[in-house]
Structure 1
């Protein structure tokens, strides 16, 4: 990824405290939205909204999309790169 795109994504994450907290909370783990919310001290709805935003940008992925409850999210390689700057 070129540096310009990296910094564009970094700005996108940093402009929202909830996106920043969500991404940092996941880190190198697999986490459910409820775990993210609890650890980041935000509402589950805020964590879910942030996850949707981060997913659209390719920073996180859901590893078990087919389940209704207990969805697990992890950072992509780009997401992990962004965390280094947070």
Structure 2
């Protein structure tokens, strides 16, 4: 069973209203910064992402 915190780029796109290509590009950048984690980087589709602890801290500050 996969943790519900993991999302596919398509799901992120639907939740944010951003184009899927934009989401994929941003996820690559966030991954480089250590803000998101990809559960299955060896697969092309569907990759599953979640926030890292560092990403959760940044997100909390952003939401306040």
Give the TM-score, by structure 2 length. Answer: 0.86
Greater helix share, 1 or 2? 1
Distance 1:68 1:47 in 2: 15
Separation in 2, partners of 1:31, 1:60: 11
* Rg larger for: 1
Provide the alpha-carbon RMSD of the alignment: 1.2
Gaps of at least 5 residues in structure 2 are: none
* 1:11 alignment counterpart: none
TM-score (norm 1): 0.65
Aligned pairs, number: 59
Deviations 1:36-68 (A, max 9, x none): 011100000000011011001000010111111
What residue is the counterpart of 2:15 in the other structure? 39
User: Which stretches of structure 1, 4 residues or more, deviate above 4 A after TM superposition?
Assistant: none
Aligned 1:7-86 pairs, distance under 5 A: 29-86=5-62
- Unaligned regions of 5+ residues in structure 1, if any? 1-27
